[in-house]
Amino acid sequence: MADPRFPYVKWRGGRPRAVHGPRQRALGFVDADLRHPPLDDKGRPVGRWFTIEEAAAFSDKRVAEVAAARAAGQTKPKPERKRETVDHLLDDWTSSDEFKTNALATQRSYHKAVQAILYKPMRREQAAEFRKKERAAKVLGVLPPVRERETIADVTPSSLGRPELRAFFNYVKAERGHHMAISVIAALSAALTWGQESIHWRLGPNPRIGMEFDHPDGRVVLVTMPEFSAWVAASDEITRHSIGDSFYLALFTGQRQTDRIAMRDESKVEGRHAFRQSKTGELVDIKEAPQLTARLNAARARAKEIKLRLQLDVVPPEFVINEDNGQPYDENAYRHWVMTTRTLAAFGFLDRDTPQAAIARAERLADALTAALPVVFKPYPIEEAQDKAMRARMVDGRNRALAEWMAPRRVATAMAMNQPGG
């Protein structure tokens, strides 16, 4: 049965939606799903869908409203922008001209912190399920799923004092880590300071001023060559060669992730590589290394194959190309695959595993290890006041405890591989 046709109403899989043309939108009319209350946190109805009769009545009413607006020659007033909560303040701040004067890398960092302020963290399985529901909602043309919000997102900025900032810092530190906790406080502080000079907000003194927050130690990670080789091998095994390409660039150039996923070879001298830094614009010029050259040549060949497979017009000049879309990675997708390949490198494959099965198994083990670590490492605390000898003993103890935790799982893996079909 064909969908009914009413002016300003379109049907998507039996679900009606108010849809307007450019002239109606210029008069202030807004597209929206035709549903009854209740409303979600954005003020959109999420209740029962309109019936055919209700959609027909809406259509008749909207025809009259549009005709009246045209006759009056006036635009329909836009809804007044809400300025009540921390969420509204952060939205105003990140949309402001002052915010846009920050470097792009700074803006991205602030946006990540804002998401951590507004929404509760999700475990890996929850995030995967959420993305699946988002994709399904897009295909079906329905409202996307809504993430669980942090309480602080919906309080008034004027209610935030030093105790609230300290409590939120401690909470984020426990749930998301020390570095994110520092980033969150920095974003909140910047927004509160901006709000002091905003004609709409006119906030009082920023409670962050004068507070001290402990900073984590710098992130210095030593990756051994066996670890590097295992990581690259895991990437190649699941045909995420691009992640291995990025690791090769890291090994030979020492550049940051954001630089590596945007790298192009700008050298005009035989026997040298030259890569442009995204943050400073400086050119990193290094001697040609046979291993790096071979990997980059293979990367360019794979990029041409991706172009043919996806029927792209051009091959991007960057080396690190996302196999899913033939484009340079965005940071979120890159971070996801780095974590996935790292987990695979740590826990390995079974002979019978497909890439999907190997990823699922490795992620289950990684989650189990994460949950067990507080107990496994409890007898071997590492503290700032410890001398080098004591810290070394604690590290050795942690290595032994971790090996003991892994031992029965290695046995289980070996038994699974020896079973029929293993």
Where in the chain are the domains?
9-72, 86-197, 222-347, 348-422
What φ, ψ does residue 33 adopt, rounded to 5°? -65, 140
Longest dimension (CA), the chain: 85
At 421 the pLDDT is: 43
pLDDT at 422: 42
| pLDDT computed for residue 47 by the predictor | 81
Assign a CATH topology to domain 222-347: hpI Integrase; Chain A (1.10.443)
Provide the whole-model pTM: 0.57
Nearest Cα neighbor of 185 from 103, 113, 89 is 113
Question: In tens digits, what is the pLDDT along the chain, a chain of 422 residues?
Answer: 567 788 899 888 778 889 888 888 888 888 888 988 777 766 677 788 888 888 889 999 999 888 888 877 665 555 667 788 999 999 999 999 999 998 887 888 899 999 999 999 887 778 878 888 888 877 776 677 888 899 999 999 999 999 999 999 999 998 888 989 999 999 999 999 999 999 999 999 999 999 999 887 766 667 889 999 999 999 999 999 999 999 998 888 888 787 888 888 777 777 787 777 655 667 777 787 889 889 988 998 999 999 999 888 888 888 899 998 899 888 878 988 999 999 999 888 877 788 888 888 888 888 888 888 889 999 998 887 788 899 899 999 999 999 899 888 877 766 665 554 44
Q: Cβ(213)–Cβ(169) under 8 Å?
A: yes
Measured distance CA(395)–CA(399) in Å, rounded: 6
Question: Pairing between strand 9-12 and 15-18?
Answer: antiparallel
Contact 62, 7 (CB under 8 A): yes
What local confidence, expressed as pLDDT, does residue 218 receive? 65
Task: Let me know: does 169 contact 181? Beta carbons within 8 Å.
Answer: yes
For residue 65, the Cα-to-chain-centroid distance in whole angstroms is 42
Select from 284, 252, 285 the least CA-distant residue to 269.
285
DSSP label of 16 = E
The residue type at 184: V
Residue 103, number of CB atoms within 10 A of its CB: 10
